[in-house]
């Protein structure tokens, strides 16, 4: 997928032999992506007493903040001061809103580093692949007639 993003100006996607979309990689990500990925690393201070308890408390507070700030968020992973969220698309959710909220929370929740990224092109293609199904083989003539009659209300079978 990295090659596609680097070399292609427009891409077409077909699922089960049907044309689904055509556009730039950015257009595909914006239209068919699932939103943003937010990864946050909390600062661990070696001078704190009970590092694990302190880190757990900070992590819980941060998770409550993200859930309240972005209701369409889904926790993907959380361990050792790292928190990974998928932030779903929502009306009014822009890059500026997302970055601004995390920047304002940096000092409050002791955030050392964070990353915000858009859905990858690979994730978009995986979502299209989920739509794909195996082609069904029609085994008898009566099945073809039954299918035809359901499609055209019997007009071609008379």
Half-sphere exposure at residue 43, Cβ-oriented, CA atoms within 13 angstroms: 12
What is the model's pLDDT at position 51?
59
How far is Cα 55 from Cα 76, in angstroms, rounded to an integer? 18
> Are residues 94 and 154 located together in one domain of the fold?
no
Each residue's pLDDT tens digit, 61-115: 999 999 999 988 999 999 888 999 999 888 888 889 999 999 999 989 989 999 9
> Are residues 75 and 52 located together in one domain of the fold?
yes
Assign 33 a pLDDT band (cuts: 50, 70, 90).
confident
User: How far is CA 157 from each of CA 125, 140, 143, 145, 148, rounded to the nearest angstrom?
Assistant: 40, 15, 12, 7, 7
SS3 label, residue 33: coil
Model confidence pTM above 0.85? no
Number of domains in the chain: 2
Rg (CA), the chain: 24
State which residues form the domain around 39.
34-118
């Amino acid at each position: 997928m990295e090659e596609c993003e680097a070399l292609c100006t427009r891409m077409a996607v077909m699922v089960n032999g049907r044309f689904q979309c055509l556009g730039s990689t950015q257009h595909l990500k914006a239209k068919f992506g699932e939103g943003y990925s937010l990864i946050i690393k909390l600062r661990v201070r070696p001078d704190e007493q009970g590092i694990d308890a302190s880190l757990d408390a900070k992590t819980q507070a941060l998770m409550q903040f993200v859930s309240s700030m972005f209701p369409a968020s889904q926790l993907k992973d959380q361990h050792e001061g790292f928190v990974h969220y998928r932030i779903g698309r929502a009306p009014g959710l822009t890059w500026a809103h997302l970055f601004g909220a995390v920047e304002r929370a940096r000092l409050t929740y002791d955030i050392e580093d964070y990353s915000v990224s858009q859905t990858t092109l690979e994730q978009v293609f995986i979502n299209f692949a989920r739509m794909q199904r195996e082609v069904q083989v029609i085994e008898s003539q009566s099945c073809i007639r039954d299918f035809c009659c359901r499609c055209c209300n019997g007009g071609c079978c008379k």
